[in-house]
């Protein structure tokens, strides 16, 4: 039986990222960041034998995404505490 990948919204809900009311470009940015960090953690595990907890991975992903958004978009005043509670609310 062929297994299909879950929808991006399902992945973000698993990571407790609220996606309701979030436009698709923000959803994609968050999803791509999560996928990149998963890939980075996978490579660190395989090639450097470094393990990362899921909690650390999500926290690091959020921190890097805030830095990226702050440096590349018009949303330059992102509050870290607000971001940790609800990343999507930072774009409203």
User: For the chain, which residues make up each domain, given as ranges?
Assistant: 25-91
Higher pLDDT, 84 or 2: 84
Query: Is residue 90 very low, low, confident or very high in pLDDT (cuts 50, 70, 90)?
Result: low
Q: What's the rounded mean pLDDT across residues 60-89?
A: 69
* Alpha carbon distance 5, 75 (integer Å): 31
Record the pTM: 0.56
C-alpha separations of 65 from 3, 25, 34, 47, 61 in Å? 30, 14, 9, 24, 6
Q: Are 25 and 19 in contact (CB under 8 A)?
A: no
Q: Note the pLDDT tens digit of each residue in 11-67.
A: 555 555 555 555 666 667 777 877 888 888 888 888 998 888 877 877 787 778 777
């Amino acid at each position: 039986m062929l297994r299909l990948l879950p929808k991006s919204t399902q992945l973000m809900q698993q990571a407790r990222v609220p996606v309701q009311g979030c436009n698709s470009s923000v959803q994609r940015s968050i999803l791509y960041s999560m996928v990149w960090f998963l890939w980075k953690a996978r490579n660190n595990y395989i090639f450097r034998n470094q393990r990362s907890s899921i909690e650390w991975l999500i926290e690091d992903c959020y921190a890097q995404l805030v830095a990226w958004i702050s440096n590349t978009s018009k949303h330059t005043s992102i509050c870290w505490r607000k971001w940790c509670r609800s990343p999507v609310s930072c774009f409203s």
